[in-house]
């Protein structure tokens, strides 16, 4: 008996197309995950740079006001109190920003950690020794 043209091939071809579509779907999902993680890392780095710039800015102002405080130390009016308050304020703000930047930098980068975990799960699911356990 002859098979209709493409009857067996269409089943195998359909399966191959289905596998290819699944593989492309998995790849697309992984690439989207990589893009999301890259965007999160960009945001983390921007936040870190913002806090670091704020720390340098306010610590610089604090140093300037501290220098002015020492310069004006011999003056007789209440200018010392005002300069001391401003110097302390800027130094405190600078220290808070520096501590926040240090905390962010200690957390380290988690760039692509979720993608790596997902790819490891995919690899483990595809391995032949896991295939018999899943049945």
* Total number of domains in the chain: 2
Q: What is the pLDDT of residue 43?
A: 92
Q: Is residue 131 part of a domain?
A: no
Q: Tell whether 70 and 82 lie within a shared domain.
A: no
Per-residue pLDDT of the chain (135 residues; tens, 9 = 90+): 455 554 455 788 888 888 888 888 888 888 888 888 888 888 988 999 999 999 989 998 888 888 788 777 767 777 777 778 888 888 898 899 999 988 988 887 676 777 777 777 777 777 666 444 554
Cα(80)–Cα(87) distance, rounded to whole angstroms? 10
Q: Is residue 87 part of a domain?
A: yes
Q: Tell whether 16 and 67 lie within a shared domain.
A: yes
Q: Tell whether 101 and 68 lie within a shared domain.
A: no
Q: Tell whether 49 and 95 lie within a shared domain.
A: no
Q: What is the pLDDT of residue 51?
A: 93
* Residue 53 falls in which region: left (phi positive, over 0), alpha (psi -120 to 50) or beta: alpha
Cα(30)–Cα(118) distance, rounded to whole angstroms? 8
What SS3 state is found at 77? coil
Q: Tell whether 82 and 118 lie within a shared domain.
A: yes
Q: Tell whether 83 and 101 lie within a shared domain.
A: yes
Written as six digits, the tokens of 50 are 């913002």
Q: Tell whether 32 and 69 lie within a shared domain.
A: yes
Where do runs of H (alpha helix) occur along the chain?
7-71, 79-107, 113-126, 128-134
Q: In this structure, are residues 37 and 115 in contact, taking their beta carbons and an 8 Å threshold?
A: yes
Q: Tell whether 20 and 32 lie within a shared domain.
A: yes
Q: Is residue 4 part of a domain?
A: no
Look at the block and give the residue holding tokens 């998995």: 26
Domain limits for position 99:
77-126
């Amino acid at each position: 008996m002859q098979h209709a043209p493409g009857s067996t091939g269409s089943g195998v071809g359909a399966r191959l197309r289905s596998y290819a579509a699944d593989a492309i779907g998995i790849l697309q999902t992984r690439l989207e995950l990589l893009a999301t993680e890259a965007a999160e890392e960009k945001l983390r780095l921007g936040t870190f740079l913002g806090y670091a710039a704020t720390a340098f800015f306010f610590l610089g102002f604090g140093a300037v006001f501290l220098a002015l405080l020492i310069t004006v130390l011999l003056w007789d009016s209440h200018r010392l109190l005002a300069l001391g308050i401003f110097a302390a304020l800027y130094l405190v703000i600078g220290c808070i920003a520096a501590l926040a930047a240090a905390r962010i930098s200690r957390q380290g980068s988690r760039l692509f950690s979720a993608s790596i975990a997902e790819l490891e799960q995919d690899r483990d699911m595809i391995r032949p020794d896991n295939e018999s356990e899943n049945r």
